[in-house]
Structure 1
Amino acid sequence: MSVTFINARIFTGEEILEDHAVSTREGKITSIRPYAEREATGNEIDLQGALLAPAFIDLQIYGGNAHVFSLYPSVTSLAATVAYSKGGGAAWIMPTVATIGPEVMLDAMKAIRAYWEQGGQGVLGLHLEGPFMNPAKKGAHLEQYIHSPTQEDINWILENGRDVVKIMTLAPECCDPELVRQLAAAGIVIFAGHSNATYAQAYTSFDNGIHHATHLFNAMSPLESRAPGIVGAIYDHPLVSASIVADGVHVDFASIRISKKIMKDRLFLITDAVEENKDKEAGYIYIREKDRYVSAGGVLSGSCLTMTKAVRNCVEQVGIPLEEALRMASLYPARAIGREQALGRIAVGYDAALVAIDSNWDTTVYC
């Protein structure tokens, strides 16, 4: 199917174009031309002055639309989570499973594989957040499942999920670097997180190939005057990017502003969104409060964000220019997973995953 989008301000990922049209065919962008020279596709969508931007990419989300994929992995819960994300501007997600037993991880791998086999769109792969983390920084994760990896653990992940697992969050100080290299060699992008690493430990792991970090500030050793911690190492290392939860709850907006000044294009957005679950048998309890989710013990355990809300917060609460906030939700996460040649820009040959944003911040995803 061919479509041409008209009557929009077009943010390409680099600049905003006025009086242009974007045409797509069979899932790819085929042209960006002045309106008078647009392709005659026979199917035009009038966006009525909205901003057309690359669709957002959420690399950490647990569930949506009343389904918690991370606890009850299935094609149905995946589809619900994708629908939630599309409603909030994200065409692509990395559904995430927290530290839990191998049965649930295996079910999540099978669910994503089945979703793809049935033609499901919008899922980039699986993000395993744990179980190889530091219990001192477990946050809301279940300590009984936390452990340092063995060769058998790595073999199990690669045998069962090599084609599905695309991100792993782990504490580098708790992991044998050789085992981490095996995961990376299999194409899994390693994020440092839930870590109590010293500055030296973290910086060394970054030099050794871990170039990403999960939810900056949350569940990691802080920046202090005599102990810079992993936050200090993230700030200081030129190759390390980090995700951040821009809801004003996980991280104060002033901390986001300071981090952005230091890290520039190395900082990107995630939602860390979840849905309510009160079934104790599932292992994790997620209780909805006004602007967050907490565990049964009151520990912060997830957000109520969409990617559009995160972008809006960055613009209105943090003071980040709109174009840069949009890149934080699209181009920079695409770059973190090595997909920046296909996602995160409106350019010829890129995937036709687009989001229209109106003056009220209401969004419509086209993909």
Structure 2
Amino acid sequence: MSLDPNHPGTPPQHALLARRIFDGTRWHDDAAVLIRDGLVAGVRRSGEVPGDWPQQNLPAGTIVAPGFIDLQVNGGGGVLLNDQPTADGMRAIARAHRRFGTTGCLPTLITDTRERMADAIAAARSIAGHDGILGLHIEGPFISPKRPGVHPPDRIAEPRDGDVEQLCELSGAGTSLVTLAPECVPAGFVQTLTTNGVRVSIGHSEAPADVVMRAVADGASGVTHLFNAMPPFSGRSPGIIGTALTEERLTAGLIVDGIHVDPISVRLAFAAKRDGIALVTDAMPSVGSSLQRFSLLGQTVTLVKGRLATAGGTLAGAHLDMASAVRNAVKLAELPLEDALRAASLTPARFLGLDRERGTLTAGARADLVALNAELKVIATWVDGQREDVQ
């Protein structure tokens, strides 16, 4: 029984047949993903699909993989979360990235006022778990003024009474994340967050290795945009980079756009901890839109030849989507495709504690998938088993 991809409704159970399927761990050739009621029922050989299941044969050369998960997405579709920290703003950002294979994301608020943080947290609490919004990523304001990146220096802050309690409200906002500099927060700050169910990532920091390890002991589990906004690695001072690449409890986000990190450094990171690197976009509102210029907290950011920067030349996020990050990992850094796909799906899902339901095509997982052509460009995505064609 053949399934018409243009049919207005998707049957509650159906099969997607493709030349190659990556289930998050291994490849299946000439296989089918069985989908029932929005969940994966399993992956089987094409000839083993039950005869009463409607089937859709994907085009020759198609690769099917788990939908991508982006841990750091500041904007998309012309929307910047800092300008629109609302449920509608988060929906617009997630929707803009859907066409690039991202089926789940953490909209990201960079350093801003406490009032703007409160707005974003309230919005995330109202929408997390829906429309591809997994939670909220608050990046700053408790970061090092010595490593601000594009974050506005006048809004970088030291914690005061009530701040940790405000961030703990993220425990009701899905699986959420805070990026901070551990040397810039008081003792107990990281542990309070993590014991209340908020994930902590180390970034925009000058923390030496011993401070990083104390944060890890307190529950920190991530490193934000590895190699960027942190001191370089040194044999006598391994710092954040050395600790991130050797400490199994840390998952490191990596911006693979060919601009933020040299391809050799990308290969180094994957060689050190293949299953501990998560591709992230650090995307700005230019992604999925025609914007060539936008305002970021008072600074004008311009897109020139794929590079987003302020007038002073500071990198300002990335003009990057997850499908492009996968392509870059394969073509620029010469990584195996399975490593790139895993870093875009299963690894971030595992970091968020969602790897039983996302980032995998094993039975019982959500039927969130992406189909890629031979050039690794997105053909379509599926969310809860419902197909959404690229537009």
**Contact 1:275–1:286 (Cα < 8 Å) also in 2:** no
How many angstroms does 1:74 deviate by? Answer: 2.9
How many angstroms does 1:62 deviate by? Answer: 0.7
Moved more, 51-60 or 4-13: 4-13
How many angstroms does 1:279 deviate by? Answer: 4.2
How many angstroms does 1:172 deviate by? Answer: 0.8
For residues 99 and 284 of structure 1, do their structure 2 counterparts lie closer, same or farther at Cα, with a shift above 3 Å needed?
farther
**Contact 1:169–1:214 (Cα < 8 Å) also in 2:** yes
How many angstroms does 1:151 deviate by? Answer: 4.1
Query: Which consecutive residues of structure 1, in runs of 5 or more, have no partner in the other structure?
Result: none
**Contact 2:190–2:219 (Cα < 8 Å) also in 1:** no
Of 362, 375, 382, which aligns to 1:366?
A: 382
Q: Which runs of 4+ in 1 moved over 6 A?
A: none
Is 1:135–2:151 an aligned residue pair?
no
Letter aligned with residue 382 of structure 2: Y
**Contact 2:274–2:339 (Cα < 8 Å) also in 1:** no
Match of 1:341 in 2: 356
For residues 205 and 34 of structure 1, do their structure 2 counterparts lie closer, same or farther at Cα, with a shift above 3 Å needed?
same
- Whole-angstrom distance in 2 between the partners of 1:29 and 1:313: 29
Is 1:315–2:330 an aligned residue pair?
yes
Letter aligned with residue 74 of structure 2: Y
- Whole-angstrom distance in 1 between the partners of 2:95 and 2:120: 18
Match of 1:162 in 2: 171
Letter aligned with residue 14 of structure 1: T
Q: Percent identity at matched positions?
A: 34
Letter aligned with residue 76 of structure 1: D
How many angstroms does 1:295 deviate by? Answer: 2.5
Letter aligned with residue 312 of structure 1: R
Larger helix proportion, structure 1 or 2? 1
Match runs of 1:180-199 below 5 Å = 180-199=190-209
Match of 1:234 in 2: 244
How many angstroms does 1:152 deviate by? Answer: 1.2
Is 1:105–2:117 an aligned residue pair?
yes
SS in 1 for 2:121: helix
How many angstroms does 1:84 deviate by? Answer: 2.1
How many angstroms does 1:86 deviate by? Answer: 1.2
Match runs of 1:108-123 below 5 Å = 108-115=120-127, 120-123=130-133
Moved more, 341-350 or 32-41: 32-41
Could you tell me the TM-score, scaled by structure 2's length? 0.87
Of 43, 67, 79, which aligns to 1:55?
A: 67
Match of 2:7 in 1: none
Could you tell me the TM-score, scaled by structure 1's length? 0.93
How many angstroms does 1:120 deviate by? Answer: 4.1
Match runs of 1:193-208 below 5 Å = 193-208=203-218
Letter aligned with residue 152 of structure 1: G
C-alpha deviations, 1:69-121, integer Å up to 9, x for none?
232223333222112211111101100000001222222223334445xx942
Letter aligned with residue 55 of structure 1: G
SS in 2 for 1:232: helix
How many angstroms does 1:287 deviate by? Answer: 2.1
SS in 2 for 1:158: helix
SS in 1 for 2:56: strand
